[in-house]
Amino acid sequence: MYAYFCCRVVIDNNACEDATVIQVDSVNKHGILLEVVQVLTDMNLTITKAYISSDGGWFMDGPSCI
């Protein structure tokens, strides 16, 4: 049985002068930060800064990429 994990991805090229801000909102799932980082590096993006926060059931991950 597979669980459905919904998420929202926001890409903002104007938030930072020298980087693109990518914000991922998703349910809190073990290993989700690793999955996000792997997808971004597979796309040859450089992560210069990242943070993660959680309200218990959901988390926000905001890596900045260039």
Residues pairing with 7 in the sheet: 26
Q: How confident is the model over 12-61, as pLDDT tens digits?
A: 999 888 888 888 887 777 787 888 888 889 999 888 887 777 666 655 55
The confidence band for 1, taking pLDDT boundaries of 50, 70 and 90, is very low
**Residue 18 contacts residue 66 (beta carbons within 8 Å):** yes
Domain boundaries defined on the chain: 7-65
Alpha helices by DSSP H, the chain = 32-42
Report yes or no on whether pTM surpasses 0.75. no
Q: What is the pLDDT of residue 5?
A: 58
